[in-house]
Amino acid sequence: MANTLINSVSFTVLLVVLVMASTGVLKSDAADLECYNKNALQCPLLANRAFLGECGPAPFTEGNCECCKCCMRTYGSWPTGTSVCWAVVEGSDNDCHCYKKISLSLAHAHETSNDTISFSLSLSIASKMVKPELEYLKEKRNLQDLWKAAFPVGTEWHNLDAVYQYNWDFKNLEEALEEGGILYGKKVYVFGIAEPQHVPSIDKFIHVPTVVAIESPFPPSDKIGIKLVQREVEDIVPMKQMKMAWVPYVPFEKRDRQVDRMNFQVFTLACTQRRVALRHLKEDRVKMFEYSIPYFYQPFSEDEFERNTEEFIDEMIEDEELPAEQRNEFKEFVKEQVRAAKKARGEAKDARMEAIEEMSEETKQAFQNIKFYKFYPQASPDVPRFLKTDKINRYYGSAHQVL
């Protein structure tokens, strides 16, 4: 007997839900729920007072419940949220204007149907039985988070969050590494840069993430350049000293496999320094991260200055940035800095040349064929407009191609 009653009730609920859904009576979307939460739970029928909801203040009178009218006028039905109108719960459904309107809709559906359906079941039970529509998440692309895996080297710690405040799209980077792309099947090393740019349309600075992809059969460098303002010369230090390293990137489709059995094609420059631990570091140490620059030295081309010291100083005097009487003093200072910088680069060059002497001819050829690709986010209505440049940094110079 009990099972028969349960089955009967379940069948009745199912039919009610189907009919209400087919007639457009039941809807469950964000707008419905918003209206429901703001207005319905403050139903003036029970509160016996004026209320201020989305529809504005209006005392309840017969056939003039503003919360119901709002939902019915906008959506054509009473919203099916997590609860139902208080009037229905309290059993005074005959006085609820909204319930009356739904009852009429159900009655009309009943008249136009050939099936005999019982509508004796309470609306409160039916609404609780209706399950919200499932939301399906978009399937993640195989390389979708690659750009985020590339640490934006040299970005101030307090600006890191600003780099990710927009929904940047690097599908162009993904396509370059997928079949048919310019980097498909090649070994690639990737690091990030955050370029501060002023956007006139919103009159603010934004940090545009860019990704530099280096096509190379071996890591382009295991060093990081650091140029602090208060220091006379730049430092070139091992990546390990800055808690940085080239780490393999695992695409989504391979993340359920054993890492030690993979043949990695893409490596990202990662940093393991935790932001929460910065407060325990000295200020100079923190600044070293913020003034870090990915280092690269091309041993097969001599390092040349774009202009000599004399031209540089003369231009400063012409631009009135340097008094003429300080010319000689400043000239000696600049030369001293240049000598120190050349010494540091010379030491790095000697170390690199020693390593090159041990390379095979094939490896030397590969080193000479290293290429740099600079990727910007794709244009989108969701992100501000920004400028592009082929410049990477003082060590890498310019990219061979900007995408």
Q: Are 319 and 254 in contact (CB under 8 A)?
A: no
The residue among 180 and 154 whose pLDDT is bigger is: 180
Identify the sign of the CA torsion 54, 59, 63, 64. Answer: negative
Per-residue model confidence (pLDDT) at position 300:
64
Give residues with Cβ within 8 angstroms of 271, minimum separation 6.
151, 153, 242, 243, 244, 289
Q: Provide φ and ψ at 102, rounded to 5°.
A: -65, -40
292 forms bridges with which residues in the sheet? 226
* Confidence label for 307 from pLDDT (cuts 50, 70 and 90): very low
Q: Of the ranges 319-328, 349-358, 367-376, which one carries the lowest mean pLDDT score?
A: 319-328
210 forms bridges with which residues in the sheet? 193
Per-residue model confidence (pLDDT) at position 179:
86
**How confident is the model over 19-66, as pLDDT tens digits?**
444 444 333 344 444 444 444 444 433 333 333 333 333 333 334 455
Per-residue model confidence (pLDDT) at position 92:
40
Residue 250 buriedness (CB in 10 A; 0-12 / 13-18 / 19+): middle
Per-residue model confidence (pLDDT) at position 138:
65
Token pair recorded at residue 398: 């310019």
pLDDT beyond 70 at 114: no
- Single pTM value for the model: 0.54
Alpha-carbon distance 375 to 267, whole Å? Answer: 16
Per-residue model confidence (pLDDT) at position 372:
92
Give residues with Cβ within 8 angstroms of 103, minimum separation 6.
119
Closest CA to 93 of 129, 120, 131, 58: 120
Helix 66-75 / helix 97-111 crossing angle, nearest 10 deg: 40
* Confidence label for 170 from pLDDT (cuts 50, 70 and 90): confident
**How confident is the model over 221-268, as pLDDT tens digits?**
888 888 765 555 678 888 888 888 888 888 877 777 766 666 788 898
Give residues with Cβ within 8 angstroms of 366, minimum separation 6.
216, 217, 218
Q: Look at the block and give the residue holding tokens 């570091």.
A: 281
Q: Are 351 and 222 in contact (CB under 8 A)?
A: no
Q: Of the ranges 184-198, 312-326, 342-356, 363-377, which one carries the lowest mean pLDDT score?
A: 312-326
Neighbours of 202 (CB within 10 A): 10
What's the first-to-final CA gap in the chain, in angstroms? 72
Per-residue model confidence (pLDDT) at position 189:
93
Per-residue model confidence (pLDDT) at position 350:
75
Alpha-carbon distance 22 to 6, whole Å? Answer: 24
Q: Which amino acid is at 116?
A: T
Q: Of the ranges 30-34, 135-139, 272-276, which one carries the lowest mean pLDDT score?
A: 30-34
- The C-alpha angle with vertex 266 and arms to 265 and 269, in degrees rounded to 5, equals 145
Per-residue model confidence (pLDDT) at position 230:
55
pLDDT beyond 60 at 357: yes
* Confidence label for 17 from pLDDT (cuts 50, 70 and 90): very low
Q: Of the ranges 18-32, 139-153, 311-325, 383-397, which one carries the lowest mean pLDDT score?
A: 18-32
Per-residue model confidence (pLDDT) at position 302:
54
Identify the sign of the CA torsion 150, 156, 158, 162. Answer: negative
Taking residues 270-279, report their average pLDDT.
Answer: 74
Per-residue model confidence (pLDDT) at position 374:
93
Q: Are 152 and 196 in contact (CB under 8 A)?
A: no
Per-residue model confidence (pLDDT) at position 77:
47
Q: Are 17 and 33 in contact (CB under 8 A)?
A: no
* Confidence label for 158 from pLDDT (cuts 50, 70 and 90): confident
Per-residue model confidence (pLDDT) at position 265:
85
Identify the sign of the CA torsion 315, 318, 321, 326. Answer: positive
How far is CA 217 from its chain centroid? 30
397 forms bridges with which residues in the sheet? 393
Coil/strand/helix, residue 190: strand
**How confident is the model over 277-305, as pLDDT tens digits?**
666 777 778 788 888 888 887 766 655 44
pLDDT beyond 70 at 95: no
Per-residue model confidence (pLDDT) at position 375:
93
Provide the greatest CA pair distance for the chain. Answer: 110
Q: Look at the block and give the residue holding tokens 């993979």.
A: 262
Per-residue model confidence (pLDDT) at position 140:
76
Percent of the chain with pLDDT over 90: 2
The residue among 25 and 112 whose pLDDT is bigger is: 112
* Confidence label for 339 from pLDDT (cuts 50, 70 and 90): confident
On average, the pLDDT of the chain sits at: 66
pLDDT beyond 50 at 113: no
